[in-house]
Structure 1
Amino acid sequence: MNPALIEQLKETVKYLGATLGDTILEELGEQWLETIEQIRHDGRHSSTGDALSTEMLASTLANLDNQSLLTIARAFAQFLTLANIAEQEFNIAANQASTLESQLNNLSQHLDLRADKDKVLSAIQNLNIDLVLTAHPTEVNRRTSIYKQSQLADQLHQLHSGNVGDVENRRIKQRIADLISQSWHTDEIRTVRPTPVDEARWGFSVIENSLWEAIPEFLRDLNGYLHTNFDTVLPLDAKPVQFSSWMGGDRDGNPFVTSSLTQEVLLRARRRAAKLFKNDLDQLYSELSMNKCNTTLREQVGDVKEPYRALLKPLIQTLDRTAIGKAPVCTWIQTNEELQNPLVDCYQSLLDCGMQVIAKGSILDILRRSYCFGIHLLKLDIRQDAQRHSDVFSELTRFLGMGDYHQWSEDDKQAFLLRELSSRRPLIPPRWEPSNEVKEVLDTCKVIANNGKDGFGIYIISMASEPSDVLGVQLLLKESGVQWPMPVAPLFETLDDLNNSPSVMQNLLSIDWYKGYINGQQFVMIGYSDSAKDAGSLAAGWAQYSAQEALVDLAKEHNTKLTLFHGRGGTIGRGGLPAKAAIHSQPPGSLDGGFRVTEQGETIRFKFGMPQLAKRSLSLYASAVIEAVLLPPPEPKSQWREIITTMANKGRDNYRHTVNTDPEFVPYFRVATPELELGKLPLGSRPAKRNPHGGIESLRAIPWIFAWAQTRLVLPSWLGVMRAIDEVNQGDNAPIVQDMIDQWPFFASRLSMLDMVFQKADPKVSEAYDKRLVPDELLHFGAALREELVQSMQSLLKMTGHEHMMEDDPNARNSMQIRAGYLQPLHYVQIELLDRIRKAKSSKFEDNDVVVLERAMMVAITGIAVGMRNTG
């Protein structure tokens, strides 16, 4: 860790905070700035445990009116946003030397690159990383705020470049002040929820503003590594990384994602891709003015002076027509080949005519983008709940007089589905008028049929539990006219479904028709969020590992390429881990079929929000996957399996005893966290609950995690885990557990996850929420939870031999410490707001007071999420 860079980070945070202070001073005056400074001072000391500062902080806030609380919430939320921007710029500077080549060169410590040349080349050439952008738990910032933040990051990068004169320095600082003032005077909270189209447009913007530049740069680095070390190059059509999306395709529990909306998102993506490629080709057109070309190109354009421009001009016109979007869709660019073939011909001609330098310039970058993004920009996944597919067949079989599909046995369902899959006659009669819900499922399948296969990724079935869930989707696709074998992936997400997944897949892969359909390629999605919510993080983690291990063995048995799709979130409770740790903690062989993972909400911006960050993240993913393939982790020893199984079972029982069995848990959860208030925050397009009338069991994993993170108890990520580990880590087991820590990345990563969780947890903040919000008869419940939290922290430190949390990751520890002083006032603002809002429900508050309180509450929730670096 570079001390000079850390000092620069602290100075940058201080400078940005002072600039925001100047903005506040200009608008609100000296007295307001002094108040904010006093709150900041008390907050910083309160975060270190100073009881007097904590008392003063709470007292100051209690004496402010509602509008003033809103101002305080806005100020500290923006302080935290500025701290995040400073840290992003710091991360880029701190990792400038950490290139893809330097990361891959670490392999030489374990491999003889010359002797193992074929193995290394195979791992690189077979690299298959699919990053799936998702909109949930969603970005808490408005897009206009994100734009300003991106501009501010650019200015900081220029300021720290080291080549700035006095005049330029003044200009940059003026621009920084301008941007901070713009942000302060902009409403940071959405007044309405984003639509799925808004979310998709945000995803498009990530590609346009960052990944469009990062992908060719990353591929140039990878190509350079191959050329330097193995005297070979990447194939022209290499696609080691690609991007898919759930934005506009994920309809699981989201009534706003309809077939017509999916169609709109597909068309918008094509228009955005056309715009981006047209911009590239306009520039290329201006550069390719040369006359010399090869025979292939000359035969296409005839005797013209500028053959390259002649070949590209019709393509540019088609792209322009597509980007504008007013012409009929049939006149748009239709296939990736239509884009790529002219570019390949130009590229090859340049090589053939001795213009290699030009060929390896911008045209190569455009070609790389064409293979990565294509004319659809992203491959759209479709996700739907298994029950919705069953409802189609239930309604249809009743209409046809065949009984109720829902009541059939699994064997009868499979027999019916396989019979219809092999039949040449249509199953769905033209005179049938299904219910609106069933029609929507069928219309979605028709949208898939009416669009090219290159625009789609895979079809994911939530809550899949039987082979018929998969066969049913394949029959619906067939009946809707889908002419290509769209991959269908069951999503195993509850603990029971994960444990049963090998049996389900064994039954599927034993069906001859099915094996013919998948043609040796099977996708399976592993759910992290719901399994952790169901059984706690330790039991879920072991179930996920065991399921993957069994599925890998099963795929080998059936000579099938298995691609595991990881539904990870940004938080620990949703499977979040640093990329390298997550990849290396998977079972051996689980990466042989590629690596597919969700990138959700705000973590997309933290990893891919700027070109430099995106390139770094892509390099980390690529090097981690290559290393894990070449140097796979060890298979767990039988003793390790016995111990982790016992730990997982105890952890599950501990977790469920509190969450599912104790009658005081739900009442405590409702009053101790802002769970009910979260529903009013216009975050993503999806409702907070799958069933709007359900209780905790129907609450999505995202708001479940989000609510606990707001109070700094972060309970779902640790509850019951260390108790279970401590119960087992005794006597003869102790040296075995130590061996697991030293030799088994899966188990070490569990402890690393807890380390991160405990760094973010703060029992004193949680206690402050309880003192103000929880009735006396429930105070003991929160106290018991915090007692377990403190004991778990102490136990982990003893187990790892560390003095404090995150000892092995000082950057992350330093990051949280920088935020602590700004986070503390927001927590106490939120406590004050929650108390006032809840009292307002039972008293005669003016409507305007309630509006101000709720807006302040949304700002506080957002600010804490920004400071914690995650929503859910």
Structure 2
Amino acid sequence: MGQGIAVDATPIRFTSWMGGDRDGNPFVTAEVTQQVLLLSRWKAADLFAKDLDVLSSELSMSEANAALKAVTQSDEPYRAVLNKLRLQLLSTRQWLTQAINQQPSPVPADLIWHNKQLLEPLLLCYHSLQECGMTVIANSKLLDTLRRAYAFGLSLLKLDIRQDAQRHADVFSELTQYLELGDYASWDEAQKQQFLLSELSSRRPLFGKEWQPSADVQQVLDTCAIVAEHGPEALSTYVISMAGKPSDVLAVQLLLKQAGAQFSMPIAPLFETLADLEHAPDSMQQLLAIGSYRNYIDNKQEVMIGYSDSAKDAGVFAAAWAQYQAQEALVAICQQAKVQLTLFHGRGGTIGRGGGPAHAAILSQPPGSLAGGLRVTEQGEMIRFKFGLPKLALRSLALYSSAVLEGLLLPPPVPKSSWRELMQQLADDSCQAYRAVVREDKAFVPYFRAATPEQELGQLPLGSRPAKRNPTGGVESLRAIPWIFAWSQNRLMLPAWLGAGAALAKAEQSQQAVLDEMQQQWPFFATRLSMLEMVFLKADTDIAAYYDKILVPTELQYLGTQLRQQLDHDRALLLRLIHSDTLMAKEGWIRESIMLRNTYVDPLHILQAELLHRVRHQPNSVKPDISQALMITIAGIAAGMRNSG
């Protein structure tokens, strides 16, 4: 009681994907990652130098303990130590400036590169002040700087590296063909694992100097070399997109080894599609059975759960249940293997990408899933909305912290067998209804591209990555963000509800009592219905109908009519299930906030529909002002919808 947290405690840590997430993004190269890491170090050196400037001016006292006196003969020992550290940081900043500007210079002898170099002088001063009875001074600005040093370090924040599993496979496919060993891409999983494990245990280099890899393969190798150069203080986790097999993880382990990495970088498979989520437990069980891999991870495993692509693949209900079951199984597997599991939730801002109120989302996870801590993404406009101001940031972090503590101390109930059976039925029925429209209706893709600004999104500087993984593909190749974003622009909000209503309607006929029980006793299911409430409150069939009238060819408008009728039917069904005549009646403040924003957003929709009509029907005569106005309407609607990205 009254002791406070330890000086080195960092219960909340920040990492970033910006400049490290190259999944399908040709603009994030190894050179970009290097620049981002150097810029982060430059900023950290600059900020800590400013801190030390203030501290050295204040800590002018002469009384010190033996340890501090041993390193300086100055009458002002604190000032002497801190000034020396400040000059080292300024020298480091100067060297980083030249490196960032690609003007190589000799590495200074006093380069500050490791956190230990920053912490040791600060701790020396801190302990001396404590021992000399100056606790109040020690626990003032110096303690603040120490906490920042532990929390952010000399890299400011840690960078995640993310790459598609296929890009790693391409490296070994190209290499094995060059070595005349066959084509790695054509091997089965057992052959791939045998090759990778053999090379992981070998002491000889795998990549000979005579091998000249292609440009794409060289990018992967260069990225791994940068990881090896900057080390664990600057880097967090290597995330593998579209991971599905143990070989996907072992391939990254081998690439990092060949790059000369002297540390065990955490490697997190990202299970994204419905099939990948279903196969995730088996994949991880195989991986954890490999002794050399267990040694590499030191019994700590991180797994990323994909919300965006799974929802785009199967609809929100089926995706949510697959995510829940995958997490539940992974928790059990890791407990049995005595491995500490950290689940990394790849949520976006929207309901269709796993977004929504953080507190409710965390408490709706399976029991035991928070034992290894929590990692979660905050993306796009949600960063500004949740962390743009100090008080907002404090509130957001408090919500996360309280939810994690509550989830650990008062875990949610283990679902009853009757709940599981009904949830599986809901998942199957909703997936079938979702895919019947999105995949099987031939009119859907033309309607989607006519009724939303999907085609125009790729021309606007509003995303961190290209709109599509494959520029020539259809909806299946469209990234989850523009997929969701496009439907929020015309207020149909389709990906966040399609399929759910059809499944609930079928269950209502015979399972009303179980539905009520699940809603009252199971946070997972209650959260699903709560998210639907928010979606239906934000959706507007009149605005969606106006887009159809202005933009959609007559022969396709029937599909929009059907979808709006389904939305109205699903909204009425949900109100029956929650025994209410008003959406979000229990969340009055949020309801009023949404209704207020809608008043300001509605005119933007009318303007956007007109601008889209002009852009599409007069493409050769469209002036830059029109395109600029269209961009502004898209950004304005996104801001009004809040969780839109």
TM-score range, shorter chain: over 0.9
1:685, distance to aligned residue in structure 2 (A): 3.7
Q: Retained in 2: the 8 A contact 1:529–1:701?
A: yes
Output the amino acid matched with 1:857: L
1:466 corresponding residue in structure 2: 245
- Taking every aligned residue pair, what percent have the same amino acid on both sides? 57
Q: What is the SS of the residue equivalent to 2:163?
A: strand
The equivalences for 1:154-553 within 5 A come to: 230-302=1-73, 304-324=74-94, 325-326=97-98, 328-330=106-108, 331-553=110-332
Output the amino acid matched with 1:476: L
By relative contact order (CA 8 Å, sep 6+), the higher-ranking structure is 1
Structure 1: which 4+ aligned runs deviate by more than 4 Å?
327-331
Instruction: Please give the per-residue CA displacement for 1:233-277, whole angstroms capped at 9, x wherever unaligned.
Output: 211100100110100100100011111111111000000011111
Give the one of 496, 512, 516 matched to 1:734: 512
Alignment partner of 1:714 is 2:493:
yes
Alignment partner of 1:701 is 2:480:
yes
The structure with the greater share of residues assigned to helix is 1
Quote the Cα distance in structure 2 between the aligned partners of 1:871 and 1:611: 23
TM-score, reference length from structure 2:
0.97
Instruction: Please give the per-residue CA displacement for 1:460-492, whole angstroms capped at 9, x wherever unaligned.
Output: 110011110000110011011011111111000
Structure 2: tracts of 5 or more residues without a match? 99-104
1:683, distance to aligned residue in structure 2 (A): 1.5
1:375, distance to aligned residue in structure 2 (A): 0.3
Quote the Cα distance in structure 2 between the aligned partners of 1:470 and 1:481: 17
Output the amino acid matched with 2:64: C
1:730, distance to aligned residue in structure 2 (A): 2.9
Output the amino acid matched with 1:317: L
Q: Retained in 2: the 8 A contact 1:533–1:701?
A: yes
In 2 relative to 1, CA 630–328 (structure 1 residues): closer, same or farther, beyond 3 Å? Answer: farther
1:780 corresponding residue in structure 2: 558
Quote the Cα distance in structure 2 between the aligned partners of 1:677 and 1:452: 41
2:524 corresponding residue in structure 1: 746
Alignment partner of 1:813 is 2:591:
yes
Quote the Cα distance in structure 2 between the aligned partners of 1:655 and 1:850: 39
Q: Retained in 2: the 8 A contact 1:565–1:596?
A: yes
Quote the Cα distance in structure 2 between the aligned partners of 1:610 and 1:685: 23
1:865 corresponding residue in structure 2: 638
Q: Retained in 1: the 8 A contact 2:199–2:254?
A: yes
1:686, distance to aligned residue in structure 2 (A): 1.3
In 2 relative to 1, CA 723–643 (structure 1 residues): closer, same or farther, beyond 3 Å? Answer: same
Q: What is the SS of the residue equivalent to 1:361?
A: helix
Q: Retained in 1: the 8 A contact 2:317–2:500?
A: yes
Q: What is the SS of the residue equivalent to 1:837?
A: helix
Output the amino acid matched with 2:281: P
Instruction: Please give the per-residue CA displacement for 1:633-685, whole angstroms capped at 9, x wherever unaligned.
Output: 01111110000000010000000000000111011101111111111111234
1:815, distance to aligned residue in structure 2 (A): 1.1
Output the amino acid matched with 2:82: L
Quote the Cα distance in structure 2 between the aligned partners of 1:614 and 1:786: 38
Quote the Cα distance in structure 2 between the aligned partners of 1:672 and 1:827: 12
Q: What is the SS of the residue equivalent to 1:470?
A: helix
Quote the Cα distance in structure 2 between the aligned partners of 1:646 and 1:850: 52
1:559 corresponding residue in structure 2: 338
Quote the Cα distance in structure 2 between the aligned partners of 1:803 and 1:280: 56
Q: Retained in 2: the 8 A contact 1:393–1:405?
A: yes
The equivalences for 1:749-760 within 5 A come to: 749-760=527-538
Alignment partner of 1:581 is 2:360:
yes
Output the amino acid matched with 2:470: N
Instruction: Please give the per-residue CA displacement for 1:277-299, whole angstroms capped at 9, x wherever unaligned.
Output: 11111111111111111111111
Q: Retained in 2: the 8 A contact 1:465–1:501?
A: yes
Alignment partner of 1:681 is 2:460:
yes
Q: Retained in 2: the 8 A contact 1:840–1:850?
A: no
The equivalences for 1:667-678 within 5 A come to: 667-678=446-457
Output the amino acid matched with 1:561: Q
Quote the Cα distance in structure 2 between the aligned partners of 1:684 and 1:696: 17
1:664 corresponding residue in structure 2: 443
Quote the Cα distance in structure 2 between the aligned partners of 1:322 and 1:474: 31
1:618, distance to aligned residue in structure 2 (A): 1.0
Instruction: Give the number of equivalent residue pairs.
Output: 636
Quote the Cα distance in structure 2 between the aligned partners of 1:457 and 1:811: 38
1:301, distance to aligned residue in structure 2 (A): 1.1
Q: Retained in 1: the 8 A contact 2:44–2:154?
A: yes
Q: What is the SS of the residue equivalent to 2:610?
A: helix
Output the amino acid matched with 2:87: Q
1:322, distance to aligned residue in structure 2 (A): 2.5
Instruction: Please give the per-residue CA displacement for 1:126-166, whole angstroms capped at 9, x wherever unaligned.
Output: xxxxxxxxxxxxxxxxxxxxxxxxxxxxxxxxxxxxxxxxx
Most deviating of 324-333 and 249-258: 324-333
1:852, distance to aligned residue in structure 2 (A): 2.1
1:729, distance to aligned residue in structure 2 (A): 2.5
In 2 relative to 1, CA 428–794 (structure 1 residues): closer, same or farther, beyond 3 Å? Answer: same
Q: What is the SS of the residue equivalent to 1:453?
A: coil
Quote the Cα distance in structure 2 between the aligned partners of 1:341 and 1:770: 65
1:821, distance to aligned residue in structure 2 (A): 2.1
Alignment partner of 1:618 is 2:400:
no
Q: What is the SS of the residue equivalent to 1:553?
A: helix
Most deviating of 771-780 and 489-498: 771-780
The equivalences for 1:638-653 within 5 A come to: 638-653=417-432
Output the amino acid matched with 1:298: K
Output the amino acid matched with 1:784: Q
Q: Retained in 1: the 8 A contact 2:17–2:159?
A: yes
Q: Retained in 2: the 8 A contact 1:380–1:455?
A: yes
Quote the Cα distance in structure 2 between the aligned partners of 1:685 and 1:735: 46
1:803, distance to aligned residue in structure 2 (A): 2.1
1:328, distance to aligned residue in structure 2 (A): 4.5
Q: What is the SS of the residue equivalent to 2:208?
A: coil
In 2 relative to 1, CA 584–829 (structure 1 residues): closer, same or farther, beyond 3 Å? Answer: same
Quote the Cα distance in structure 2 between the aligned partners of 1:803 and 1:355: 63
Q: What is the SS of the residue equivalent to 1:301?
A: coil
Quote the Cα distance in structure 1 between the aligned partners of 2:400 and 2:571: 30
Q: Retained in 2: the 8 A contact 1:270–1:322?
A: no
1:722, distance to aligned residue in structure 2 (A): 1.6
Instruction: Please give the per-residue CA displacement for 1:601-656, whole angstroms capped at 9, x wherever unaligned.
Output: 11011111011111111111111111111110011111100000000100000000
Quote the Cα distance in structure 2 between the aligned partners of 1:426 and 1:402: 16
Q: What is the SS of the residue equivalent to 2:426?
A: helix
The equivalences for 1:757-836 within 5 A come to: 757-836=535-614
The equivalences for 1:631-642 within 5 A come to: 631-642=410-421
Quote the Cα distance in structure 2 between the aligned partners of 1:369 and 1:620: 21
Instruction: Please give the per-residue CA displacement for 1:92-116, whole angstroms capped at 9, x wherever unaligned.
Output: xxxxxxxxxxxxxxxxxxxxxxxxx
Quote the Cα distance in structure 2 between the aligned partners of 1:579 and 1:492: 21
CA RMSD of aligned residues (A): 1.1
Quote the Cα distance in structure 1 between the aligned partners of 2:211 and 2:478: 36
The equivalences for 1:88-127 within 5 A come to: none
Instruction: Please give the per-residue CA displacement for 1:22-46, whole angstroms capped at 9, x wherever unaligned.
Output: xxxxxxxxxxxxxxxxxxxxxxxxx
2:101 corresponding residue in structure 1: none
Quote the Cα distance in structure 2 between the aligned partners of 1:520 and 1:814: 48
Q: Retained in 2: the 8 A contact 1:461–1:488?
A: yes
